[in-house]
Structure 1
Amino acid sequence: MAPYMQSLRTALWFFPILALGLTIPLLMLEYRRYGALTFWRAFVVYTFSFYLLAAYLMVILPLPPRAVVAQLTTPRYNLHPLMVFYQFFDNTAFQWLQPHTWLIAIKQPGFTQPFFNLLLTVPFGVYLRYYFRRSFKQTLLLTFGLTCFFELTQLSALYGLYPRPYRLFDVDDLLINTTGGLLGYAIAPVLTWLFPSYQTMKSAAYRKGLRVSYTRRGVAFVIDWIVMTMALTTMTVFIHRVFGIHDLHHHILWFYLVTAGFYFVVFPYLTNGLTIGKWLVRIQIVERAGRLELSFWHLFIRQIILYGVIVPGLGYWLPRMGLAAMRAPQRLVDFYLLAALLTVTLAAVFAIHVLLAMLYQHDRLFYEQLSQTEQISTVRSGDSSVMPDQKAASQNGV
């Protein structure tokens, strides 16, 4: 039991890193499908991820010293099926006609090891049926694939990190783990009756996705900023290589404004309010007045305030003013410090404005009000992917 607890403790240590890496891809996927991520869908995905991490660590931990593994002479694999039953009868105190031996036997390794191998994949079968809506046949194949991965990890000596396998590749484990997955599939309705159904979670996600949350906008912003940074880097390297211009950091602001002007103004104007990030999370910039075509000047005003003033102010001018204050002559220090203080103040005001908008669920920030634009969800009541009850909810203003 102690090795399993060690694996669970290790999984708890590593899970925050895994969760952090999963967050943006998960949000992108859920926003793309439904326009929102609900609590229960996030709960299921994160617990499933934790389960897979814990199960993997149970397979490979504890890690022995390489020198100890190199001296092992134990068998590397067992290809004889059902040996686990022979070992149970040979290596435990179990006697059919002596019931007092049964309790003793189930506490011995001949029973506990295959029993925990069976339990290892029960949650996998539950998740496959409850959340991923897999059939019995698909659960059988996927569980067998998972246990093959575990066993091959052991057979490969942890992908060659050890001179030889330190755990046995056992065909009985393939049978027991696969049986565990099928058992989880069978008992899933009993174990999940307290949780909302898959259809309920899906409907809730669609209803929530009709509104553009600030988290959703933030994910689109991060994606667009990654694309923008890649484009700016490519442009800088191209100019350096082709024209041989050095000291490009002196011109980086102009390069940024040109790249941002194309990506955040020209490109969304041509795509009627879409950027790559907004397309991925299914939101769109539109005219507040409900016009079919997005006005170039309204879009220009919106984007120039956000990407021409706010973003450069925080990402370029504020650090630049701080560095200039440290390097400037004494007579100019006060000027640069005042400029930095002004930039910080404006940034704080903008942050408070965003927080208040989030708190009171105001969907438009000040630059959208000035430009007469707004962001809407492209998950609409007329979307073929939205279920009938979702359409009714949309028509009722939910």
Structure 2
Amino acid sequence: MLEFYLFPISYAFYTFPITAALFTLPFLIVQYRRYGYVNKIRGLFLYLFLLYLMNALFLIILPLPDTIHNAPPATGVYTQWIPFHFVLDIAKESGVSLEHPSTYSRLLSEQAFLQVVFNVILMVPFGMFLRYYFRARWFKCLIYSLGLSLFFEITQVTAIYGIFDYPYRLFDVDDLMTNTAGGMLGYILAEWLSSLLPRIDNLDESVDLSKKRVSYTRRALAFLFDWVILLPVIVVLSILRCPYPYLWSIAVYFILIPYLTNGFTFGKWLVRIRLKGTGERIRLSELVIRYGLLYLVAGGVHVAYVLAGTNSYPGLFMMLFTLILFVLDLAVAIHVFRCLFNRNRKLIYEAKSGTEHRITLK
């Protein structure tokens, strides 16, 4: 019986790193947009909640049949609609008698009883998360617990929404009842848990966003989304044979737009940061120096290397160009790593332009 539950749990832990990696990008965006920063405690609980949901899902769908063309149940029955039918199953299979307490211990080895206990325990963490982290009221906890349990049962009775030929587990109304009861038990236990842990709604009280440092992770996200937008534009302009597509795209997107919006690009807006110069408004000269060094000098050398390669320049010239580019990239990499491990050190294009990133307050 224990091995039946350990297999899905172990599978959930094995696959959690992949799921967590996919979850990280939307998680960071939501945290930056909603709170202005990422709180480690809030992040820990969200990842724990994700791990719990994966365990719960795998416990109700694993182990899978050997083939998608599985056989129908021997009884031909897919649903059980009689409430508290598990009481009859326990009484019939365990031989427990209310008049004889000495028979109660038989429940601990009875599968029907342990199944009920499992169904309750399965949803206890859900109720605890709802109350502690999501600050849900008891009625919402009741509805959400019932809804999650219903999702589990529908997943089972539809053979994971048609993947398999026949359902390999029963839709049981008793499971809905015991799962929901587990969620409400978790809701009650969360009151005790809340006394031991910091309140989620108080995590941001002492945080001053104006003094928080903009992390390189946050800047990398802004960079990623900016180039997701800009790269297709450059490709289209190149296909249309517009002159200097890279130069014009950089000038408009990273210099003109931030100048008009006082330091914003789409990527920076998405993660709630903006560029700030030495004055109240960022100056055009600051943007020209910043992005001129970053994209026209450092980036422009790489663009020129690609163009040289496509234009079949002499081999000796390309070897010399490659060596120069390698030395340049190595120097840039060393400079970036020094800045990563020394918060007081600025990237060269920031130091020369007098610009820096700031978190926006709203």
Gaps of 5+ in 1: 240-244, 384-398
Identify the residue that residue 338 of structure 1 maps to in structure 2. 320
In structure 1, C-alpha distance between the alignment counterparts of 2:154 and 2:35, rounded to whole Å: 37
Count of residues in Structure 1 that have an aligned counterpart in Structure 2 = 360
Identify the residue that residue 4 of structure 2 maps to in structure 1. 3
Identify the residue that residue 302 of structure 1 maps to in structure 2. 290
In structure 2, C-alpha distance between the alignment counterparts of 1:198 and 1:31, rounded to whole Å: 16
Q: Secondary structure at the match of 2:21?
A: helix
Identify the residue that residue 101 of structure 1 maps to in structure 2. 103
Identify the residue that residue 63 of structure 1 maps to in structure 2. 64
Report 1:174-253 matches (<5 A): 174-203=176-205, 210-236=212-238, 239=240
- Displacement after TM superposition at 1:201 (Å): 2.5
Q: Does the C-alpha gap of structure 1 residues 39 and 205 become closer, same or farther in structure 2, counting only changes over 3 Å? A: farther
In structure 2, C-alpha distance between the alignment counterparts of 1:37 and 1:358, rounded to whole Å: 18
- Displacement after TM superposition at 1:165 (Å): 0.9
1:279 aligns with 2:286: no
Deviations 1:21-44 (A, max 9, x none): 111111111111222212212211
Q: Does the C-alpha gap of structure 1 residues 58 and 277 become closer, same or farther in structure 2, counting only changes over 3 Å? A: same
Report 1:355-394 matches (<5 A): 355-362=337-344, 364-379=346-361
Q: Secondary structure at the match of 1:69?
A: coil
1:17 aligns with 2:18: yes
Q: Secondary structure at the match of 2:245?
A: helix
Deviations 1:312-344 (A, max 9, x none): 545x456677x68xx876xx34x4233223222
The residue type paired with residue 29 of structure 1 is V
- Displacement after TM superposition at 1:366 (Å): 1.2
The residue type paired with residue 261 of structure 1 is A
- Displacement after TM superposition at 1:311 (Å): 3.6
Identify the residue that residue 92 of structure 1 maps to in structure 2. 94
The residue type paired with residue 278 of structure 1 is K
Q: Does the C-alpha gap of structure 1 residues 102 and 356 become closer, same or farther in structure 2, counting only changes over 3 Å? A: same
- Displacement after TM superposition at 1:272 (Å): 1.0
Report 1:29-48 matches (<5 A): 29-48=30-49
Q: Does the C-alpha gap of structure 1 residues 84 and 212 become closer, same or farther in structure 2, counting only changes over 3 Å? A: same
Deviations 1:32-64 (A, max 9, x none): 122221221221111111111111111110001
Deviations 1:58-83 (A, max 9, x none): 11100012477324233101111111
- Displacement after TM superposition at 1:127 (Å): 0.9
TM-score, reference length from structure 2: 0.91
The residue type paired with residue 285 of structure 2 is W
The residue type paired with residue 185 of structure 1 is Y
- Displacement after TM superposition at 1:229 (Å): 2.4
Native 8 Å contact 2:156 2:171 kept in 1: yes
Deviations 1:110-130 (A, max 9, x none): 111111111111111111111
Q: Does the C-alpha gap of structure 1 residues 317 and 72 become closer, same or farther in structure 2, counting only changes over 3 Å? A: farther
In structure 2, C-alpha distance between the alignment counterparts of 1:204 and 1:11, rounded to whole Å: 36
In structure 1, C-alpha distance between the alignment counterparts of 2:301 and 2:91, rounded to whole Å: 75
Deviations 1:181-226 (A, max 9, x none): 1111110132354432213433366559732122211111112121
The residue type paired with residue 272 of structure 2 is R
RMSD between superposed Cα atoms in Å: 2.5
1:255 aligns with 2:214: no
Native 8 Å contact 2:156 2:168 kept in 1: yes
- Displacement after TM superposition at 1:108 (Å): 1.2
- Displacement after TM superposition at 1:292 (Å): 2.1
Identify the residue that residue 333 of structure 2 maps to in structure 1. 351
Identity of aligned residues (%): 36
Native 8 Å contact 1:282 1:377 kept in 2: yes
1:116 aligns with 2:118: yes
Q: Secondary structure at the match of 1:70?
A: coil
Identify the residue that residue 169 of structure 1 maps to in structure 2. 171
Native 8 Å contact 2:69 2:165 kept in 1: no
Q: Does the C-alpha gap of structure 1 residues 312 and 151 become closer, same or farther in structure 2, counting only changes over 3 Å? A: farther
- Displacement after TM superposition at 1:157 (Å): 1.0
Gaps of 5+ in 2: none
In structure 2, C-alpha distance between the alignment counterparts of 1:31 and 1:209, rounded to whole Å: 15
In structure 1, C-alpha distance between the alignment counterparts of 2:67 and 2:235, rounded to whole Å: 44
- Displacement after TM superposition at 1:177 (Å): 0.8
- Displacement after TM superposition at 1:363 (Å): 6.7
Q: Does the C-alpha gap of structure 1 residues 87 and 206 become closer, same or farther in structure 2, counting only changes over 3 Å? A: farther
Native 8 Å contact 2:80 2:173 kept in 1: yes
In structure 2, C-alpha distance between the alignment counterparts of 1:67 and 1:373, rounded to whole Å: 59
In structure 2, C-alpha distance between the alignment counterparts of 1:29 and 1:205, rounded to whole Å: 18
